[in-house]
Structure 1
Amino acid sequence: MAPLLQIFLLSLMLPLCYCADSIAQYCDQTYSDSHIETNINHVISDLVTKASVGGFATSSFGNGNNTIYGLAQCRGDVSSDDCSSCLADAAKQLPVACPNQADARLWYDYCFMRYDTVNFVGKSDTGFVTILYNTQNATDPDAFDKAVSKLVKKANSDAVSAGSGSLGREKAKFKKNITIYALAQCTRDLQPLDCAQCLSSTLQYFPIYCSHRQGCRVLYTSCMVRYEIYPFYFPLDGNAKISGADKYTKAILHPH
């Protein structure tokens, strides 16, 4: 019984995860000052509390070089319950994913969380990008790419429009049994022009990584774009089937 009891007690100490695994992370700036760790914990707690209510929050805590700035945002289409669960998971996992790192960022399907010693709020950040692309090619690939380009640009435009909450969603019938779904989103601290420039910048990777692919997403720190041939955003399209067998390849780049 002793070994079983030890395993049970150990399981209570492990971080809990109520949502899917993270899809990307970024870690930098090693620290050893305990004050920074305290400030990070304070900011994370504040972000979860605030962002769970409205889906977005910024926070800061500390003094001088020990000040930590944070931001958390849920995907604008998810429910408040899914948002809260994702943020709670991110709060547990971010310090684990980036131990002793003062610049940490974690992406999930439903939410994003980051903190840093530099005040990044209101500034577009395209210095790090993660690209996830489906390993399967689309049928009639050239026509498919043209349809994707048109749809993604519409989603980008929607995300910049007034009252959108920095979220754009579009869908279009490609063939009889194929519908393309696209989503674009910026962090809500950005001004419309900065949001538009960030989303436009994602398109440079489409010919390189997303060409002919059945699905692809480009994740910056300040914005993201995604398309699939199955419904992935809410409200879900009840007339379509959700694919669960897709395989994706990941590319991580540091443009500058």
Structure 2
Amino acid sequence: MISKSTSRVNYVCSNTTMFDNNSKYQANLNTLFRFLSSNSTNPTGFHQAVSGNGENAKDTIEAVYGPFLCRGDQNISSCQDCVTTATTTDLPNLYCPNRKEAIIWYDECMVRYSNKSFFNTMDDSWAVIMWYNGNINTTGNATRFMELMYNMMNNVIAVRAADGGKQKKFATDLVKVSKFRTIYGLGQCTPDLSASDCNLCLVDAIGKFTVSQFGRVLQPSCYAEYDVHPFFDMSTLPAPPSSQPSEPPIPSPTDEFTHSSGKVSNTGKTATLITVSTFLFVIAVAV
């Protein structure tokens, strides 16, 4: 497995399954990429395609399966640009050449392909986990900060995204920590998942967050993120209720809390930890 992250691109490529240049699999993969790119104006921001899955059993062995999923707040132009970049340049040439399985995430979209069908199936076998390290000022108690974040992500976003229907499973929300601090959250699943599988995937991803002012977990079937800075289209937020109960008072700021990179526990192998900046850490895990 090869994994890497930059400030914009995260990807995982299998290094155990390779294909030869000019092979049938490469031809099918190129066809799949064309299918995905040509459908990247789909207003739902999601499309699945299969290439090479013919009546001949030999052809089926070389079949390629893949979807793209654009983030739910992206417009058609942004979605199309992201999918086109992934399928014409980044996956075939820069990051995962000659790999039979790969997945790439950007801020705007995800593109994945494999020689095995995975449609309609929740997959959390891989996760890219990102968080900030260093002194983190939460403007108050760290425990309270994380409680508010987990409540928003698990009980609001994971529920609303799962109930999004077959077209789009996407949700955003925010919660006030104090007068001067807000936590923004986002969750999304591939729409082919059932509501229960989407909720399960997001709750699993949210459970991988660590103590930080920012967290992002990328899994093949879903994606969850929170930050103390706005990072999505605010028009996607749900309409506020007519009467909103007041939050209990937040204790006055007393100190900052620090989290070190530590170790991510998992039942499988762990990829190389990659530091992409002074304070942003990324780790890929197989579970």
TM-score band w.r.t. shorter chain: 0.7 to 0.9
Q: For residues 187-206 of structure 1, what are the structure 2 equivalents within 5 Å?
A: 187-206=190-209
Structure with higher helix content: 1
TM-score, structure 1 normalization? 0.83
- 5+ residue gaps, structure 1, are 1-19, 238-244
Amino acid at match of 2:96: C
Q: For residue 130 of structure 2, give the secondary structure of its aligned residue in structure 1.
A: strand
Q: How many residues align?
A: 225
- 5+ residue gaps, structure 2, are 1-6, 53-58, 237-276
Q: CA deviation at 1:246?
A: 8.7
Task: Give per-residue Cα distances to partners, 1:112-144, cap 9 Å, x unaligned.
Answer: 001111011111111111001012424221111
Counterpart position of 1:57? 47
CA distance in 2, matches of 1:162, 1:216: 23
Counterpart position of 1:84? 80
Query: Does the alignment pair 1:74 with 2:70?
Result: yes
Counterpart position of 2:227? 228
CA distance in 2, matches of 1:73, 1:64: 24
Counterpart position of 2:12? 25
CA distance in 2, matches of 1:184, 1:70: 21
Counterpart position of 1:17? none
TM-score, structure 2 normalization? 0.74
Amino acid at match of 2:185: A
Query: Does the alignment pair 1:35 with 2:24?
Result: yes
Question: Relative to 1, partners in 2 of residues 1:224 and 1:155: Cα closer, same or farther, differing over 3 Å?
Answer: same
1:117 to 115, 120, 145: 115
Contact kept, 8 Å, 2:74 with 2:108, in 1: the verdict is yes
Q: For residue 53 of structure 1, give the secondary structure of its aligned residue in structure 2.
A: coil
Task: Give per-residue Cα distances to partners, 1:163-222, cap 9 Å, x unaligned.
Answer: 48210100111111111100000011111111111112113312xxx21x0100111100
Contact kept, 8 Å, 1:181 with 1:227, in 2: the verdict is yes
Q: CA deviation at 1:84?
A: 1.0
Amino acid at match of 1:168: A
Contact kept, 8 Å, 1:30 with 1:101, in 2: the verdict is yes
Q: For residue 40 of structure 2, give the secondary structure of its aligned residue in structure 1.
A: helix
CA distance in 2, matches of 1:51, 1:80: 8
What percentage of aligned pairs have identical amino acids? 27
Contact kept, 8 Å, 1:52 with 1:87, in 2: the verdict is no
Query: Does the alignment pair 1:252 with 2:284?
Result: yes
CA distance in 2, matches of 1:99, 1:218: 25
Contact kept, 8 Å, 1:56 with 1:73, in 2: the verdict is yes
Counterpart position of 1:214? 213
Contact kept, 8 Å, 1:23 with 1:109, in 2: the verdict is no
Q: For residue 117 of structure 2, give the secondary structure of its aligned residue in structure 1.
A: coil
Query: Does the alignment pair 1:143 with 2:144?
Result: yes
Query: Does the alignment pair 1:94 with 2:91?
Result: yes
Task: Give per-residue Cα distances to partners, 1:11-59, cap 9 Å, x unaligned.
Answer: xxxxxxxxx7313333341122611011001001101111322311000
Amino acid at match of 1:178: R
CA distance in 2, matches of 1:230, 1:76: 18
Counterpart position of 2:106? 108
Q: For residue 207 of structure 2, give the secondary structure of its aligned residue in structure 1.
A: helix
